[in-house]
Amino acid sequence: MAAATEERLKEILDAAGPRYQIHDPSTWPAQAKFAADGKWDELNEYQEMLIGGRDKSE
């Protein structure tokens, strides 16, 4: 997931049907990269900036 683009993740969710189309994968690759790299503190800090998985600034 860390290597996936937001567009590709959105395609997968769209193909999965309406139940999954409500999700916003825009922050998923970044979160997955922190996890894959074992950067748990950075991941926690990043997640604190999110509301429901979405960037608060958007």
C-alpha span between 21 and 43 (Å, rounded):
25
pLDDT of residue 56: 73
Domain membership of residue 1 (yes or no) is no
**Beta-carbon contacts of residue 24 (< 8 Å; ≥ 6 apart):** 53, 54
How far apart are the C-alpha atoms of 9 and 5, rounded to whole Å?
Answer: 6
Whether 38 maps to a domain, the answer reads yes
**What pLDDT is stored for residue 54 in this prediction?**
77
Please count the structural domains in the chain.
1
Longest dimension (CA), the chain: 34
| pLDDT tens-place string over residues 2-52 | 999 999 999 999 999 999 999 999 999 999 999 999 999 999 999 999 987
The three-class DSSP label of residue 51 is strand
Please report whether residue 11 resides in a domain: yes
Model confidence at 58: pLDDT above 70 = no
Residue carrying the six token digits 């395609």: 11
Say what the pTM is: 0.83
Cα 58 from Cα 30, distance rounded (Å): 16
